[in-house]
Amino acid sequence: MKKDLEQTIRDLLVHLGEDPAREGLADTPSRVADAYRFLTRGYREDPEKMIKKAVFHEAYDDMVIVKDIEFYSLCEHHLLPFFGKAHIGYLPDGRIVGLSKLCRLVDVFSRRLQVQERMTFQIAEILEKHLQPKGVGVVIEAQHLCMQMRGVEKQHSQAITSAMLGGFRNRLSTREEFLKLIGISGGARP
């Protein structure tokens, strides 16, 4: 499969007007194939299996938050990077998850061809399914090179998406507490 991908990259270089045999490009097809396998490794990881191993019974019922989880992904529309930070919170109802698994879930879903909106919901949905918490909140802030390098070319633009489920959707005070704790209050960063 890697050889097929390398040939595709060679063909792309030719279509762009380059000579894939020239010194600077001779190893590029192999390097690009390796890079894309790494950047899309989330397709070869099972988030269901990952989270099942790390759910524990615990009586804790206050908000749990892991914020500023850095990620890199590829926009499925242009294959250009988007990157930023994810913030995840939930209200346990007898079950908690290992904190590092929240970061790993972000990695699994971001290391696929993605749109930010879907990724945000996928993270919230899997937590709701396996933890059955009183609520889940996920906020993702990202910069998209497809908007910064091409198209509208707005270098300082940022996209913010959220998925609020259960108590995070139904109770304004819970939502406001979460947004305040992750540093988003009244629409402005501190």
Q: What does the domain layout of the chain look like in residue ranges?
A: 2-39, 48-181
Distance CA 103, CA 47 (A): 11
Catalytic: 75?
yes
Catalytic: 76?
yes
Q: Class assignment of domain 48-181?
A: alpha beta
Instruction: Please pick, among 45, 146, 148, 177, the residue that the annotation labels catalytic.
Output: 146
For the segment 5-31, the average pLDDT, to the nearest whole number, is 97
Q: Which residue has the tokens 């497809």?
A: 146
pLDDT tens per residue, range 20-41: 999 999 999 999 999 999 999 9
Q: What is the pLDDT of residue 154?
A: 85
Catalytic: 58?
no
Q: What is the pLDDT of residue 153?
A: 85
Q: 11 phi and psi, to 5 degrees?
A: -60, -40
Where does the pLDDT of residue 188 fall: very low under 50, low under 70, confident under 90, or very high at 90 and above? Answer: very low
pLDDT tens per residue, range 87-121: 999 999 999 999 999 999 999 999 999 999 999 99
Q: What is the pLDDT of residue 185?
A: 65
Using CA of residue 179, residue 183, residue 189, residue 190, what is the dihedral sign? positive
Catalytic: 103?
no
CA-derived radius of gyration, the chain = 20
Instruction: Please pick, among 58, 77, 158, 176, the residue that the annotation labels catalytic.
Output: 77
Catalytic: 15?
no
Residue type, 167: G
pLDDT tens per residue, range 40-93: 999 999 999 999 999 999 999 999 999 999 999 999 999 999 999 999 999 999
Instruction: Please pick, among 87, 122, 130, 144, the residue that the annotation labels catalytic.
Output: 144
Instruction: Please pick, among 6, 116, 122, 141, the residue that the annotation labels catalytic.
Output: 116
Q: What is the pLDDT of residue 186?
A: 52
**Strand order in 135-144's β-sheet?**
113-114, 64-75, 81-91, 135-144, 159-166
Distance CA 186, CA 178 (A): 12
pLDDT tens per residue, range 142-187: 999 999 888 888 888 899 999 999 999 999 999 999 999 999 865 4
